[in-house]
């Protein structure tokens, strides 16, 4: 599955299926000294 960064959002990515459809939004939080946190949401408002 392809992820593409959402324009204007620092941590939000769009998850794109193999046929080019938007499937969900993925939030990636990276902080030094902590494990990465990645969560998927169905709608953009929930991801924000």
Q: Residue 47 is encoded by which pair of tokens?
A: 């991801």
Please give the span between the terminal C-alpha atoms of the chain, in angstroms, as a whole number: 21
Q: Dihedral sign for Cα 48, 10, 15, 34, please.
A: negative
Query: Average pLDDT for residues 31-36, to the nearest whole number?
Result: 96
The reported pLDDT for the residue numbered 1 is: 76
Query: Average pLDDT for residues 1-7, to the nearest whole number?
Result: 87
Q: Residue 21 is encoded by which pair of tokens?
A: 């459809």
Pairing between β-strand 2-5 and β-strand 12-16 as defined by DSSP bridges: antiparallel
Q: How does pLDDT run across 12-29, given as a tens digit for each residue? A: 999 999 999 999 999 999
What is the rounded average pLDDT for all residues in the chain? 92
The span from the CA of 40 to the CA of 46, in Å, is 9
The reported pLDDT for the residue numbered 41 is: 95
Q: Residue 46 is encoded by which pair of tokens?
A: 């929930």
Query: Average pLDDT for residues 31-44, to the nearest whole number?
Result: 94
The reported pLDDT for the residue numbered 23 is: 93
- Domain limits of the chain? 2-47
């Amino acid at each position: 599955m392809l992820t593409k960064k959402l324009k204007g959002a620092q941590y939000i990515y769009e998850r794109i299926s193999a046929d080019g459809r938007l499937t969900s939004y993925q939030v990636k939080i990276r902080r030094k000294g902590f494990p990465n946190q990645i969560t998927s949401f169905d709608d953009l408002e929930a991801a924000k």
